[in-house]
Amino acid sequence: MIINSFKVDKISHWCIAISSCDCNLDLETDIKKYLQSNYAPENIYILRPDDGKKYSIAHERIPNFENIPVQEIIYKGNGELISNGKKLSAIVHKKLASEFYLYILKKHESVLKASNESYFVLPSKNYATHFIRIANIFKESQEINILSIFLLPYLKNNPEIIYCDTPTIFSLIYSCVLLKNKKDYNPRIKFYSPHSVSKDDVGNTENAIFIISTSINGTLPIKLNSQVGIDWSKIIVLYSFDTTKNLKYKALSKSSATDLLSDFLSLKPEIFKERFPNRTFEIKFEDDQFMPTAPTVSQIIINQEDAPKTLSDFMANYIKYDFISCYKGVNSKAKVRDIYFDVSKIFRNIKGNIKNHFEEKTNLLLINQLPINISAIIYVDKNESKYLADKIRAYYKKDHSKIVQSIFYQDLKFPTTPNNFPSCYLICSSCISEGKKIADISRRLRSQEDSQIIYFNGFVRCVDQKAYSLLKNNIKYGKYGFTTYSFITIDEIFLPNEDSDTISWEIEKNLINIILQGFDDLKVKSVMSPSTRKYFKNRFDDLNSLDGLVNNVFLNSKDGRRLMLNKNFAFFDFVNWKPKEIQQSKVYFTIISVLHNYRKNHNIKQTVYERSILSPENFNRYNDGIIQASILRSATSQELNYQIDRHASTAMITIIAGSIKDISNPDAAPYEFLMAICLGKLSLYKEDLQKLFNDFKNHKDNIIKTFFKIIESKFLT
């Protein structure tokens, strides 16, 4: 038995539905229990099977129930609902069906809400914040029996085939068949995939119906009609949340998704990702899957010992050279590099002819490991690698009186037959990461397997030592195993994989472009003063420069002052440097190296079950604005997602508010914090973000005011 209450024309109604599976009912006791949490009705329906039994309510046993009228409705095996000897009106019939289906949906908590870091993939391929799990509904035989009553009318013509989009509704179809079984009705029940259903999958549909468990935006019904050719009259949806006013298909229950789910959203993937950049975990539901439990959240706190052991020495060797740029160059995947190393700037001495670490090590390796019979130097790019190749070529000309041929790798031409006169080739690369170019050279040199091949690299950038060893072994492998060829490296660098689609400068450039174009959705036109517009225009020009970012890695203050590193930097063991000498790109490189090393050493994983976020304490411990900015830029959006930890979110708004209040301090970085929020990298509880907005939306600094207008438009409306 089910008791359900609802309103029609502002009048409260109850319907007591009695299943053919029910026995020994005590209506009065169940009604008393239901009254404890529901208002008394003005009308009552008793929906019962055509079993000849009399079901009545003893009003005198229930307080305040004396004068409530009761209308009996009998349901028959053909799907008809009979009241007082007449067929129940279609309006009441439809209302009862819709109310019962929604009641069961809510009762079994079938509406699942994704976490702040995840999203559901719907059969329509849309991404959604909620998912309706139909399998939760069909648990109790009495409820299934009652729900089947309202599906029976669609089976009155005894369809030969009943197509279902999921096996989870089989029990509902089976219950319908049992109610009609007096006529020995035995339809075939088939299942189809809502993802890939086609005409070939369904065959003859002349005497068939198609049942859809749930439709949020009408995608599957439209697909069945337009692509498979199914007539609208043969399509029945159990739960429809379609916003279309007049549905062409049949729906047992129709409701607005926003009525049931106040913050429900179903969007195209690209739009969803733009709106929710921190929702990175995809959830695809199959019949045997369940909603994952809340993840365990741990906090990352960076200490001095988390730096790579070689980092300080590396920076000490190269501190005087501006050889590191950010957001410059293109890698083998045609993506902009997050960090770019220019060896040509290391060779250009600052003080006379004093050689630096890189030059000294290069010359030492040339003397001790390179033969004098090099036939050709092959370089992998026409800039830095060619510069390094020319330096080595000049050395050979000077010390060996030999002019060595220098060739760009794409100009290599060899005969397909093996070379009978072995040569010696030096493959020169200034900086490699995945090694795709030198792997290409290796393939081109296969016909020269009896020749000596030496790979000479300035910097090798890999994720970790394991990746470096794998790269090196793959290149060294030849006719005599892993020691066939030589692989020489000046310095090894371990950093995260490059991905310019997620690095902050790429997203920032797109955002500023939208701002400058006056995109109406952001509503920043009215708040931007001419000086503010000029500020963003200058920043946009910096981000589009082919020179990359060196001392403009981070946002300047309003008056153009750049963030600088103070003395006693925790990750530098040496002291012979001045703040003005340290480019912002080097500070960013240092922090991203430390963070990456921490992730490796602590085996940091971001999964549905475990999360790691940067503790707000990091921003208190490293309170130089340039270090805070480096952390914000080098951390991932998952590590800055404070929506999953309320206490961390509250701590972060205190830090951000303090930075905004301290805007006149040259060491403060309020613009970087606000930019991180605007880019979707740093996420806060909505209530915390709203408080921050309320406190500073009318700030006297026009740039801050602009940032908050963007925040309001993107995250608060």
Query: Do 324 and 495 touch, CB atoms closer than 8 A?
Result: no
Main-chain dihedrals φ then ψ at residue 426, nearest 5 degrees: -110, 115
Mean pLDDT for 397-420 is 69
Q: In the structure, what pLDDT confidence band is assigned to residue 705 with cuts at 50, 70 and 90?
A: very high
What is the residue type of 593?
S
Coil, helix or strand at residue 156: coil
Coil, helix or strand at residue 36: coil
Cα-only R_g, the chain: 35
**pLDDT > 80? residue 522:** no
Mean pLDDT for 400-422 is 69
* 276's tokens: 């929710």
Does residue 181 or residue 655 have the better pLDDT? Answer: 655
What per-residue confidence (pLDDT) applies to 128?
Answer: 87
What per-residue confidence (pLDDT) applies to 288?
Answer: 37
What per-residue confidence (pLDDT) applies to 419?
Answer: 54
Q: What is the DSSP letter of 662?
A: T
* Helical packing angle, 670-678 and 504-516, nearest 10°: 80
**pLDDT > 50? residue 286:** no
Burial label, 148 (beta-carbon count in 10 A; 0-12, 13-18, 19+): buried
Tell me the range of 123-137, 255-269, 453-467 where mean pLDDT is highest.
Answer: 453-467
Mind listing the pLDDT tens digit for each residue in 530-565?
999 999 999 999 999 989 999 999 999 998 999 999
Q: Tell which residue, 511, 518, 540, has the closest CA to residue 679.
A: 511
Q: In the structure, what pLDDT confidence band is assigned to residue 311 with cuts at 50, 70 and 90?
A: very high
- Distance between CA atoms of residues 34 and 562, nearest Å: 68
One-character DSSP codes across 484-539: SSEEEEEEEEE-PPP-TTTSHHHHHHHHHHHHHTT-GGG--TTT--HHHHHHHHHH
Q: What is the number of other CB atoms lying within 10 angstroms of the CB of residue 196?
A: 8
* 82's tokens: 């009979």
Mind listing the pLDDT tens digit for each residue in 620-674?
999 999 999 999 999 999 999 999 899 999 999 999 999 999 999 999 999 999 9
Q: In the structure, what pLDDT confidence band is assigned to residue 291 with cuts at 50, 70 and 90?
A: very low
Share of the chain above pLDDT 90, in %: 32
What per-residue confidence (pLDDT) applies to 424?
Answer: 86
- Distance between CA atoms of residues 58 and 712, nearest Å: 58
- Distance between CA atoms of residues 714 and 277, nearest Å: 11
What per-residue confidence (pLDDT) applies to 29?
Answer: 87
Q: What is the DSSP letter of 245?
A: S
Q: In the structure, what pLDDT confidence band is assigned to residue 403 with cuts at 50, 70 and 90?
A: low
* 680's tokens: 């979707």
- Distance between CA atoms of residues 120 and 606, nearest Å: 18
Coil, helix or strand at residue 380: coil
Coil, helix or strand at residue 171: helix
Burial label, 321 (beta-carbon count in 10 A; 0-12, 13-18, 19+): buried
Main-chain dihedrals φ then ψ at residue 130, nearest 5 degrees: -135, 160
One-character DSSP codes across 405-427: EEEEGGG----SSPPSS--EEEE
Q: What is the dihedral of CA 618, 621, 626, 628, to 10 degrees?
A: 20
Mind listing the pLDDT tens digit for each residue in 209-232?
999 998 877 888 999 999 999 999
Q: Tell which residue, 214, 223, 168, 217, has the closest CA to residue 191.
A: 168
Kindly list the strands in the beta sheet with 161-164, ordered across the sheet, starting from the edge strand earlier in the chain.
188-191, 161-164, 208-215, 235-240, 250-254
What per-residue confidence (pLDDT) applies to 350?
Answer: 45
Task: Write the CA distances from 685 to 93, 212, 644, 692, integer angstroms.
Answer: 44, 37, 8, 11
Domains of the chain: 2-75 (no CATH), 111-283 (3.40.50), 336-494 (3.40.50.2020), 503-716 (no CATH)
Q: What is the mean pLDDT of the chain?
A: 85
**pLDDT > 90? residue 107:** no
Mean pLDDT for 361-367 is 78
Does residue 395 or residue 400 have the better pLDDT? Answer: 395
Q: End-to-end distance of the chain based on CA atoms, in angstroms?
A: 44
Mind listing the pLDDT tens digit for each residue in 445-463?
877 777 888 898 889 999 9
What per-residue confidence (pLDDT) applies to 289?
Answer: 39
**pLDDT > 50? residue 11:** yes
